[in-house]
Chains A and B, each alone.
Chain A
Protein backbone atom coordinates (compact mmCIF):
# COMPACT_ATOMS: atom_id res chain seq x y z
CA UNK A 1 0.00 0.00 0.00
CA UNK A 2 1.11 3.54 -0.63
CA UNK A 3 2.04 5.72 2.28
CA UNK A 4 -1.32 7.27 2.98
CA UNK A 5 -0.06 10.55 4.29
CA UNK A 6 2.11 13.13 2.71
CA UNK A 7 5.05 14.02 4.89
CA UNK A 8 5.40 17.61 3.77
CA UNK A 9 7.97 19.84 5.45
CA UNK A 10 6.65 21.62 8.52
CA UNK A 11 4.30 24.33 7.33
CA UNK A 12 4.94 27.88 8.35
CA UNK A 13 1.69 28.63 10.12
CA UNK A 14 -0.24 27.26 13.07
CA UNK A 15 -3.54 28.37 14.53
CA UNK A 16 -3.69 29.26 18.26
CA UNK A 17 -5.22 25.79 18.75
CA UNK A 18 -2.32 23.84 17.26
CA UNK A 19 -1.12 22.38 20.56
CA UNK A 20 -4.73 21.54 21.45
CA UNK A 21 -5.16 19.61 18.18
CA UNK A 22 -2.00 17.62 18.82
CA UNK A 23 -3.01 16.93 22.44
CA UNK A 24 -6.40 15.72 21.20
CA UNK A 25 -4.79 13.36 18.67
CA UNK A 26 -5.64 15.43 15.63
CA UNK A 27 -3.99 14.02 12.52
CA UNK A 28 -2.20 17.11 11.27
CA UNK A 29 -1.84 17.88 7.57
CA UNK A 30 -0.74 20.89 5.58
CA UNK A 31 -3.71 22.92 4.33
CA UNK A 32 -3.37 26.34 2.68
CA UNK A 33 -0.08 26.91 4.48
CA UNK A 34 -1.45 25.91 7.89
CA UNK A 35 -0.95 22.76 9.90
CA UNK A 36 -4.55 21.63 10.43
CA UNK A 37 -6.28 18.48 11.75
CA UNK A 38 -7.81 16.43 8.93
CA UNK A 39 -9.50 14.21 11.55
CA UNK A 40 -9.29 13.22 15.22
CA UNK A 41 -10.96 9.80 15.11
CA UNK A 42 -12.67 9.07 11.80
CA UNK A 43 -14.05 11.34 9.10
CA UNK A 44 -17.32 9.42 8.92
CA UNK A 45 -18.00 9.50 12.67
CA UNK A 46 -17.15 13.22 12.84
CA UNK A 47 -19.36 13.88 9.80
CA UNK A 48 -22.32 12.00 11.31
CA UNK A 49 -21.88 13.79 14.66
CA UNK A 50 -22.50 17.10 12.85
CA UNK A 51 -25.51 15.70 10.97
CA UNK A 52 -27.07 14.12 14.07
CA UNK A 53 -25.94 16.16 17.09
CA UNK A 54 -23.13 18.73 17.13
CA UNK A 55 -19.49 19.01 16.12
CA UNK A 56 -16.97 21.83 16.10
CA UNK A 57 -14.11 22.82 13.82
CA UNK A 58 -11.12 25.08 14.28
CA UNK A 59 -11.42 27.39 11.28
CA UNK A 60 -8.93 29.94 12.61
CA UNK A 61 -6.89 29.54 9.42
CA UNK A 62 -9.53 31.55 7.56
CA UNK A 63 -8.73 35.24 7.16
CA UNK A 64 -10.67 37.67 9.35
CA UNK A 65 -10.64 41.34 8.41
CA UNK A 66 -12.39 44.32 10.00
CA UNK A 67 -12.89 47.31 7.73
CA UNK A 68 -13.65 50.71 9.22
CA UNK A 69 -14.07 54.31 8.12
CA UNK A 70 -16.54 56.67 6.48
CA UNK A 71 -16.26 54.97 3.13
CA UNK A 72 -15.91 51.37 4.36
CA UNK A 73 -19.23 50.26 2.92
CA UNK A 74 -18.65 52.05 -0.36
CA UNK A 75 -15.24 50.35 -0.64
CA UNK A 76 -16.52 46.85 0.12
CA UNK A 77 -19.50 47.36 -2.17
CA UNK A 78 -17.05 47.79 -5.06
CA UNK A 79 -15.01 44.76 -3.98
CA UNK A 80 -17.78 42.17 -3.53
CA UNK A 81 -20.47 41.13 -6.01
CA UNK A 82 -23.44 41.14 -3.63
CA UNK A 83 -25.31 44.26 -2.50
CA UNK A 84 -24.24 45.56 0.91
CA UNK A 85 -26.12 48.86 1.21
CA UNK A 86 -29.32 47.12 2.31
CA UNK A 87 -27.68 44.96 5.00
CA UNK A 88 -29.10 45.51 8.47
CA UNK A 89 -26.67 45.85 11.38
CA UNK A 90 -25.81 42.30 12.40
CA UNK A 91 -26.65 40.80 9.00
CA UNK A 92 -24.30 38.48 7.10
CA UNK A 93 -24.21 37.96 3.33
CA UNK A 94 -22.29 35.61 1.02
CA UNK A 95 -20.56 37.25 -1.92
CA UNK A 96 -17.70 36.90 -4.35
CA UNK A 97 -14.62 38.98 -5.04
CA UNK A 98 -14.08 39.04 -8.81
CA UNK A 99 -11.33 40.29 -11.07
CA UNK A 100 -12.03 42.62 -14.01
CA UNK A 101 -12.61 39.59 -16.25
CA UNK A 102 -15.35 38.32 -13.94
CA UNK A 103 -13.22 35.42 -12.62
CA UNK A 104 -13.49 34.62 -8.93
CA UNK A 105 -10.63 35.80 -6.67
CA UNK A 106 -12.40 34.48 -3.56
CA UNK A 107 -15.78 33.74 -2.03
CA UNK A 108 -16.38 35.60 1.22
CA UNK A 109 -18.81 36.34 4.02
CA UNK A 110 -19.49 40.01 4.73
CA UNK A 111 -20.97 41.03 8.09
CA UNK A 112 -22.24 44.47 9.02
CA UNK A 113 -21.09 44.48 12.67
CA UNK A 114 -22.20 47.47 14.79
CA UNK A 115 -18.59 48.74 14.97
CA UNK A 116 -17.06 47.61 11.65
CA UNK A 117 -17.55 45.67 8.43
CA UNK A 118 -16.33 42.12 8.78
CA UNK A 119 -14.88 40.05 5.94
CA UNK A 120 -14.08 36.34 6.27
CA UNK A 121 -11.90 35.06 3.43
CA UNK A 122 -10.38 31.70 2.52
CA UNK A 123 -6.95 31.02 4.01
CA UNK A 124 -5.59 30.26 0.54
CA UNK A 125 -6.78 33.64 -0.79
CA UNK A 126 -6.15 35.79 2.27
CA UNK A 127 -3.16 37.60 0.74
CA UNK A 128 -4.80 37.89 -2.69
CA UNK A 129 -7.93 39.53 -1.31
CA UNK A 130 -5.96 42.01 0.81
CA UNK A 131 -3.70 42.78 -2.17
CA UNK A 132 -6.77 43.30 -4.41
CA UNK A 133 -8.29 45.68 -1.87
CA UNK A 134 -5.04 47.60 -1.45
CA UNK A 135 -4.79 47.91 -5.23
CA UNK A 136 -8.23 49.55 -5.27
CA UNK A 137 -8.03 51.79 -2.21
CA UNK A 138 -10.57 54.25 -0.90
CA UNK A 139 -9.59 57.23 1.29
CA UNK A 140 -10.26 57.24 5.05
CA UNK A 141 -10.65 53.49 5.46
CA UNK A 142 -8.59 50.97 7.42
CA UNK A 143 -8.25 47.19 7.33
CA UNK A 144 -7.56 45.51 10.65
CA UNK A 145 -6.44 41.91 10.19
CA UNK A 146 -7.49 40.00 13.30
CA UNK A 147 -6.67 36.53 11.95
CA UNK A 148 -3.75 35.80 14.28
CA UNK A 149 -5.10 37.63 17.33
CA UNK A 150 -8.35 35.63 17.38
CA UNK A 151 -9.60 32.06 17.03
CA UNK A 152 -12.60 31.07 14.94
CA UNK A 153 -14.55 27.98 15.92
CA UNK A 154 -17.49 26.68 13.90
CA UNK A 155 -20.01 24.76 16.03
CA UNK A 156 -22.40 22.94 13.69
CA UNK A 157 -25.28 20.50 13.94
CA UNK A 158 -28.91 20.35 15.11
CA UNK A 159 -27.88 20.31 18.79
CA UNK A 160 -25.61 23.40 18.53
CA UNK A 161 -27.90 25.49 20.73
CA UNK A 162 -27.84 22.93 23.56
CA UNK A 163 -24.05 23.17 23.57
CA UNK A 164 -23.82 26.97 23.77
CA UNK A 165 -26.80 27.77 26.00
CA UNK A 166 -24.73 27.52 29.19
CA UNK A 167 -22.17 30.12 28.14
CA UNK A 168 -23.78 32.37 25.52
CA UNK A 169 -26.69 34.76 26.11
CA UNK A 170 -30.17 33.87 25.03
CA UNK A 171 -30.06 36.61 22.39
CA UNK A 172 -27.57 34.45 20.44
CA UNK A 173 -29.92 31.46 20.51
CA UNK A 174 -32.64 33.71 19.13
CA UNK A 175 -30.58 35.04 16.20
CA UNK A 176 -31.94 34.11 12.78
CA UNK A 177 -29.71 32.33 10.26
CA UNK A 178 -27.08 34.63 8.69
CA UNK A 179 -27.24 37.12 11.55
CA UNK A 180 -24.51 37.92 14.04
CA UNK A 181 -24.01 39.75 17.31
CA UNK A 182 -21.14 40.89 19.51
CA UNK A 183 -21.01 39.41 23.00
CA UNK A 184 -18.89 41.12 25.70
CA UNK A 185 -16.86 38.58 27.69
CA UNK A 186 -14.30 39.60 30.32
CA UNK A 187 -13.79 42.93 28.64
CA UNK A 188 -13.24 41.35 25.21
CA UNK A 189 -15.48 41.13 22.16
CA UNK A 190 -16.66 37.81 20.83
CA UNK A 191 -18.18 38.03 17.37
CA UNK A 192 -20.76 35.31 16.91
CA UNK A 193 -22.71 34.58 13.76
CA UNK A 194 -25.32 32.04 12.73
CA UNK A 195 -23.30 30.79 9.78
CA UNK A 196 -21.41 27.68 8.72
CA UNK A 197 -20.19 25.47 5.91
CA UNK A 198 -21.84 22.14 6.63
CA UNK A 199 -25.51 22.41 5.63
CA UNK A 200 -26.51 22.32 9.30
CA UNK A 201 -27.51 25.14 11.60
CA UNK A 202 -24.90 26.38 14.03
CA UNK A 203 -22.70 29.29 15.01
CA UNK A 204 -19.26 30.54 14.15
CA UNK A 205 -17.51 32.11 17.13
CA UNK A 206 -14.61 34.54 16.80
CA UNK A 207 -12.95 35.06 20.19
CA UNK A 208 -9.55 36.28 21.44
CA UNK A 209 -6.76 33.78 20.69
CA UNK A 210 -5.98 33.51 24.40
CA UNK A 211 -9.33 31.85 25.18
CA UNK A 212 -9.20 29.42 22.25
CA UNK A 213 -8.13 26.33 24.19
CA UNK A 214 -10.59 26.96 27.01
CA UNK A 215 -13.39 27.43 24.50
CA UNK A 216 -12.50 24.23 22.64
CA UNK A 217 -12.38 22.32 25.94
CA UNK A 218 -15.78 23.72 26.94
CA UNK A 219 -17.35 22.65 23.65
CA UNK A 220 -15.90 19.17 24.13
CA UNK A 221 -17.17 18.94 27.72
CA UNK A 222 -20.60 20.17 26.65
CA UNK A 223 -20.90 17.24 24.27
CA UNK A 224 -19.77 18.56 20.90
CA UNK A 225 -17.43 16.33 18.88
CA UNK A 226 -14.10 17.72 17.66
CA UNK A 227 -14.11 17.53 13.85
CA UNK A 228 -11.33 17.94 11.32
CA UNK A 229 -11.11 19.35 7.82
CA UNK A 230 -11.90 15.92 6.35
CA UNK A 231 -15.45 16.00 7.72
CA UNK A 232 -15.74 19.69 6.88
CA UNK A 233 -15.07 18.78 3.23
CA UNK A 234 -17.56 15.88 3.07
CA UNK A 235 -20.20 18.00 4.86
CA UNK A 236 -19.87 20.99 2.53
CA UNK A 237 -19.86 18.68 -0.48
CA UNK A 238 -23.15 17.06 0.58
CA UNK A 239 -24.51 20.58 1.16
CA UNK A 240 -23.53 21.49 -2.43
CA UNK A 241 -21.29 24.34 -1.29
CA UNK A 242 -18.39 25.34 -3.53
CA UNK A 243 -14.79 25.24 -2.30
CA UNK A 244 -12.27 27.68 -3.72
CA UNK A 245 -9.59 25.87 -5.72
CA UNK A 246 -12.12 23.18 -6.65
CA UNK A 247 -15.40 24.73 -7.84
CA UNK A 248 -14.12 28.31 -7.93
CA UNK A 249 -11.04 29.96 -9.39
CA UNK A 250 -10.03 32.99 -11.44
CA UNK A 251 -11.03 31.20 -14.68
CA UNK A 252 -14.56 30.51 -13.43
CA UNK A 253 -17.33 33.10 -13.22
CA UNK A 254 -20.11 33.14 -10.61
CA UNK A 255 -22.89 32.44 -13.15
CA UNK A 256 -21.47 29.14 -14.34
CA UNK A 257 -20.89 28.22 -10.69
CA UNK A 258 -24.62 28.68 -10.08
CA UNK A 259 -23.97 31.64 -7.78
CA UNK A 260 -25.77 34.25 -9.87
CA UNK A 261 -28.00 35.26 -6.98
CA UNK A 262 -24.90 36.53 -5.16
CA UNK A 263 -24.15 38.90 -8.07
CA UNK A 264 -26.03 42.21 -8.12
CA UNK A 265 -25.53 43.74 -11.56
CA UNK A 266 -27.57 46.81 -10.60
CA UNK A 267 -24.59 48.19 -8.65
CA UNK A 268 -21.02 49.08 -9.67
CA UNK A 269 -18.25 46.67 -8.63
CA UNK A 270 -14.98 45.33 -10.00
CA UNK A 271 -15.80 42.80 -12.69
CA UNK A 272 -19.41 43.93 -13.19
CA UNK A 273 -18.90 44.91 -16.86
CA UNK A 274 -17.42 41.53 -17.69
CA UNK A 275 -20.07 39.70 -15.69
CA UNK A 276 -22.85 41.54 -17.48
CA UNK A 277 -21.58 40.04 -20.73
CA UNK A 278 -20.93 36.61 -19.19
CA UNK A 279 -24.40 36.29 -17.72
CA UNK A 280 -25.88 35.19 -21.04
CA UNK A 281 -22.92 33.01 -22.06
CA UNK A 282 -24.45 29.68 -23.09
CA UNK A 283 -21.10 28.08 -23.95
CA UNK A 284 -19.48 28.07 -20.51
CA UNK A 285 -19.71 24.72 -18.68
CA UNK A 286 -21.85 24.81 -15.55
CA UNK A 287 -21.58 23.32 -12.07
CA UNK A 288 -23.71 20.24 -11.39
CA UNK A 289 -23.98 17.45 -8.85
CA UNK A 290 -23.27 13.86 -9.86
CA UNK A 291 -24.27 10.66 -8.08
CA UNK A 292 -22.22 7.60 -9.03
CA UNK A 293 -23.15 3.95 -9.12
CA UNK A 294 -21.23 1.56 -6.87
CA UNK A 295 -18.94 2.64 -4.04
CA UNK A 296 -15.90 4.00 -5.87
CA UNK A 297 -15.54 7.78 -5.54
CA UNK A 298 -14.51 10.13 -8.30
CA UNK A 299 -11.93 12.80 -7.47
CA UNK A 300 -10.96 16.25 -8.69
CA UNK A 301 -9.74 16.14 -12.30
CA UNK A 302 -11.61 13.01 -13.39
CA UNK A 303 -13.23 13.25 -16.83
CA UNK A 304 -17.01 13.26 -17.26
CA UNK A 305 -18.11 11.57 -20.52
CA UNK A 306 -21.39 11.27 -22.37
CA UNK A 307 -22.89 7.95 -23.53
CA UNK A 308 -20.66 7.89 -26.61
CA UNK A 309 -17.45 8.44 -24.67
CA UNK A 310 -16.97 12.08 -25.58
CA UNK A 311 -15.71 14.26 -22.76
CA UNK A 312 -18.33 16.75 -21.57
CA UNK A 313 -16.66 18.02 -18.43
CA UNK A 314 -14.46 17.51 -15.43
CA UNK A 315 -14.96 16.66 -11.75
CA UNK A 316 -13.97 19.42 -9.29
CA UNK A 317 -14.68 17.59 -5.99
CA UNK A 318 -15.72 14.07 -5.14
CA UNK A 319 -16.05 11.82 -2.14
CA UNK A 320 -18.00 8.98 -0.64
CA UNK A 321 -21.04 10.59 1.00
CA UNK A 322 -21.37 9.36 4.60
CA UNK A 323 -25.03 10.44 4.73
CA UNK A 324 -26.17 9.00 1.38
CA UNK A 325 -23.67 6.11 1.55
CA UNK A 326 -22.96 6.65 -2.14
CA UNK A 327 -20.19 8.40 -4.06
CA UNK A 328 -21.05 12.01 -4.92
CA UNK A 329 -19.21 14.62 -6.93
CA UNK A 330 -19.44 18.15 -8.22
CA UNK A 331 -18.38 18.81 -11.80
CA UNK A 332 -18.45 21.42 -14.53
CA UNK A 333 -20.13 19.98 -17.61
CA UNK A 334 -21.53 21.23 -20.91
CA UNK A 335 -24.69 23.19 -20.29
CA UNK A 336 -26.90 21.11 -22.58
CA UNK A 337 -25.98 18.01 -20.56
CA UNK A 338 -26.69 19.70 -17.22
CA UNK A 339 -30.13 18.15 -16.86
CA UNK A 340 -31.26 16.30 -13.75
CA UNK A 341 -31.33 12.58 -14.44
CA UNK A 342 -28.94 12.80 -17.40
CA UNK A 343 -26.79 9.65 -17.55
CA UNK A 344 -23.07 10.21 -17.73
CA UNK A 345 -19.91 8.16 -17.34
CA UNK A 346 -16.96 9.07 -15.14
CA UNK A 347 -13.42 8.01 -15.88
CA UNK A 348 -12.20 6.99 -12.42
CA UNK A 349 -8.63 5.70 -12.47
CA UNK A 350 -9.03 4.21 -15.99
CA UNK A 351 -12.41 2.65 -15.20
CA UNK A 352 -15.75 3.91 -16.52
CA UNK A 353 -18.23 4.42 -13.70
CA UNK A 354 -21.88 5.23 -14.55
CA UNK A 355 -23.46 8.24 -12.90
CA UNK A 356 -26.37 10.66 -13.11
CA UNK A 357 -26.62 14.43 -13.04
CA UNK A 358 -28.50 15.62 -9.98
CA UNK A 359 -29.56 18.93 -8.51
CA UNK A 360 -27.61 20.51 -5.65
CA UNK A 361 -27.52 20.17 -2.70
CA UNK A 362 -27.21 16.42 -2.22
CA UNK A 363 -28.36 16.86 1.37
CA UNK A 364 -30.80 19.32 2.92
CA UNK A 365 -31.25 19.60 6.67
CA UNK A 366 -34.61 18.67 8.17
CA UNK A 367 -36.95 21.58 8.79
CA UNK A 368 -37.49 22.05 12.49
Chain B
Protein backbone atom coordinates (compact mmCIF):
# COMPACT_ATOMS: atom_id res chain seq x y z
CA UNK B 1 0.00 0.00 0.00
CA UNK B 2 2.98 2.36 0.48
CA UNK B 3 4.65 3.28 -2.82
CA UNK B 4 7.89 1.36 -3.30
CA UNK B 5 9.74 4.32 -4.88
CA UNK B 6 9.59 6.34 -1.64
CA UNK B 7 11.75 6.35 1.48
CA UNK B 8 10.13 6.46 4.89
CA UNK B 9 11.02 7.94 8.29
CA UNK B 10 10.07 6.16 11.48
CA UNK B 11 8.06 9.29 12.38
CA UNK B 12 5.74 8.53 9.39
CA UNK B 13 6.98 11.04 6.80
CA UNK B 14 7.76 9.91 3.24
CA UNK B 15 10.46 11.31 0.91
CA UNK B 16 10.37 11.29 -2.88
CA UNK B 17 13.75 12.12 -4.44
CA UNK B 18 13.61 14.40 -7.48
CA UNK B 19 17.11 15.42 -8.61
CA UNK B 20 18.64 17.64 -5.92
CA UNK B 21 15.19 18.29 -4.50
CA UNK B 22 12.76 16.05 -2.71
CA UNK B 23 9.06 16.08 -1.89
CA UNK B 24 7.88 15.23 1.61
CA UNK B 25 4.50 14.02 2.81
CA UNK B 26 2.80 11.94 5.50
CA UNK B 27 2.07 8.25 5.17
CA UNK B 28 -1.36 6.67 4.80
CA UNK B 29 -0.85 5.02 8.20
CA UNK B 30 -0.22 8.41 9.83
CA UNK B 31 -3.26 10.15 8.35
CA UNK B 32 -5.49 7.15 9.10
CA UNK B 33 -4.39 7.33 12.72
CA UNK B 34 -5.24 11.02 12.91
CA UNK B 35 -8.56 11.12 11.00
CA UNK B 36 -10.42 14.46 11.12
CA UNK B 37 -7.45 16.65 10.09
CA UNK B 38 -8.42 20.27 10.74
CA UNK B 39 -5.20 22.24 10.31
CA UNK B 40 -1.69 21.83 8.95
CA UNK B 41 1.10 24.25 9.86
CA UNK B 42 3.94 24.28 7.33
CA UNK B 43 7.27 26.17 7.35
CA UNK B 44 7.94 29.37 5.41
CA UNK B 45 9.52 29.02 1.97
CA UNK B 46 13.27 29.63 2.32
CA UNK B 47 13.54 28.13 5.79
CA UNK B 48 16.44 25.75 6.38
CA UNK B 49 15.64 22.59 8.27
CA UNK B 50 17.82 19.80 9.63
CA UNK B 51 16.88 16.14 9.52
CA UNK B 52 14.95 15.39 12.71
CA UNK B 53 13.91 19.02 13.29
CA UNK B 54 10.30 20.06 13.48
CA UNK B 55 8.94 20.81 10.01
CA UNK B 56 5.42 21.76 11.05
CA UNK B 57 2.40 20.38 12.82
CA UNK B 58 -0.75 18.58 11.93
CA UNK B 59 -3.86 19.00 14.00
CA UNK B 60 -6.93 16.79 14.27
CA UNK B 61 -10.10 17.37 16.26
CA UNK B 62 -8.53 15.47 19.13
CA UNK B 63 -4.84 16.42 19.20
CA UNK B 64 -1.81 18.12 17.67
CA UNK B 65 1.18 16.18 16.33
CA UNK B 66 4.57 17.40 15.15
CA UNK B 67 5.82 16.76 11.64
CA UNK B 68 9.60 16.18 11.39
CA UNK B 69 11.98 16.89 8.52
CA UNK B 70 13.24 13.51 7.28
CA UNK B 71 16.25 15.11 5.51
CA UNK B 72 18.28 18.32 5.79
CA UNK B 73 17.51 21.05 3.28
CA UNK B 74 15.94 24.35 2.37
CA UNK B 75 12.19 24.72 1.88
CA UNK B 76 11.56 25.53 -1.80
CA UNK B 77 7.77 25.21 -1.84
CA UNK B 78 4.88 24.31 0.44
CA UNK B 79 1.52 22.87 -0.55
CA UNK B 80 -0.72 25.91 -0.15
CA UNK B 81 -3.83 23.88 -1.09
CA UNK B 82 -3.66 22.37 2.40
CA UNK B 83 -4.51 25.66 4.10
CA UNK B 84 -7.84 25.74 2.26
CA UNK B 85 -8.45 22.01 2.41
CA UNK B 86 -6.44 20.17 5.09
CA UNK B 87 -8.48 17.02 4.40
CA UNK B 88 -6.49 16.66 1.16
CA UNK B 89 -3.70 15.07 3.17
CA UNK B 90 -6.08 12.27 4.23
CA UNK B 91 -7.66 11.75 0.83
CA UNK B 92 -4.45 11.65 -1.19
CA UNK B 93 -1.42 11.44 1.12
CA UNK B 94 1.03 10.35 -1.63
CA UNK B 95 -0.25 12.79 -4.28
CA UNK B 96 -2.19 16.05 -3.92
CA UNK B 97 -1.72 15.92 -0.14
CA UNK B 98 2.08 16.41 -0.28
CA UNK B 99 3.50 18.83 2.31
CA UNK B 100 6.74 20.50 1.24
CA UNK B 101 9.49 20.45 -1.40
CA UNK B 102 13.05 20.70 -0.06
CA UNK B 103 16.35 21.41 -1.81
CA UNK B 104 18.66 18.87 -0.28
CA UNK B 105 21.85 20.35 1.15
CA UNK B 106 24.90 18.17 0.63
CA UNK B 107 24.46 14.47 0.22
CA UNK B 108 21.17 13.02 1.36
CA UNK B 109 21.94 11.21 4.58
CA UNK B 110 19.30 8.61 4.10
CA UNK B 111 20.70 5.84 6.24
CA UNK B 112 17.96 6.43 8.80
CA UNK B 113 15.21 6.19 6.18
CA UNK B 114 13.46 2.93 5.37
CA UNK B 115 12.13 1.37 2.21
CA UNK B 116 8.41 0.56 1.98
CA UNK B 117 8.86 -2.98 3.22
CA UNK B 118 10.82 -1.97 6.33
CA UNK B 119 8.35 0.83 7.07
CA UNK B 120 5.40 -1.54 6.82
CA UNK B 121 7.16 -3.93 9.18
CA UNK B 122 7.53 -1.08 11.68
CA UNK B 123 3.90 -0.04 11.33
CA UNK B 124 2.61 -3.58 11.79
CA UNK B 125 4.38 -3.71 15.16
CA UNK B 126 2.68 -0.51 16.33
CA UNK B 127 -0.25 -1.34 18.54
CA UNK B 128 -3.35 0.41 17.30
A and B interact physically: yes
Say how far B73's CB is from chain A's closest CB, in angstroms: 18
Are A4 and B33 interface neighbours, CB within 8 A?
Answer: yes
Query: Residues of A contacting B26 with CB < 8 Å?
Result: 1
Say how far A192's CB is from chain B's closest CB, in angstroms: 30
How many residues from A make CB contacts under 8 Å with B?
Answer: 24
Q: Beta-carbon contacts of B9-53 to A below 8 Å, as 1s and 0s?
A: 001110000000000001000100111101101000000000000
Are A43 and B11 interface neighbours, CB within 8 A?
Answer: no
Is B86 in contact with chain A by the CB < 8 A criterion? yes
Query: Residues of B contacting A295 with CB < 8 Å?
Result: 38-39, 59, 86
A179 to B33, CA, bound (A): 40
Chain B residue, CB-CB nearest to A1: B12
Is B109 in contact with chain A by the CB < 8 A criterion? no
How many residues from B make CB contacts under 8 Å with A?
Answer: 28
Q: Beta-carbon contacts of A8-45 to B below 8 Å, as 1s and 0s?
A: 00000000000000000001000000000011011110
Is A366 in contact with chain B by the CB < 8 A criterion? no
**A 265-313 contacts with B by CB, 8 A:** 294-297, 299
A160 to B11, CA, bound (A): 42
Q: Beta-carbon contacts of B58-71 to A below 8 Å, as 1s and 0s?
A: 11111111111000
Is A322 in contact with chain B by the CB < 8 A criterion? yes
Are A1 and B61 interface neighbours, CB within 8 A?
Answer: no
Say how far B54's CB is from chain A's closest CB, in angstroms: 10
Are B62 and A230 interface neighbours, CB within 8 A?
Answer: yes
Say how far A43's CB is from chain B's closest CB, in angstroms: 5
Question: Contacting B68 at CB < 8 Å: which of A1, A5, A7, A39?
Answer: A1
Are A44 and B61 interface neighbours, CB within 8 A?
Answer: yes
Query: Residues of B contacting A1 with CB < 8 Å?
Result: 11-13, 26, 30, 58, 65-68
Q: Beta-carbon contacts of A218-248 to B below 8 Å, as 1s and 0s?
A: 0000000000001000100000000000000
A2-B65, A319-B62 known; 14 new pairs, CB 8 Å cut-off, are A1-B11, A1-B58, A1-B65, A2-B11, A2-B66, A5-B128, A43-B36, A43-B60, A295-B39, A296-B41, A296-B59, A297-B39, A320-B39, A349-B64
| B interface residues with partner A (beta carbon < 8 Å) | 11-13, 26, 30, 33-36, 38-39, 41, 57-68, 86, 126-128
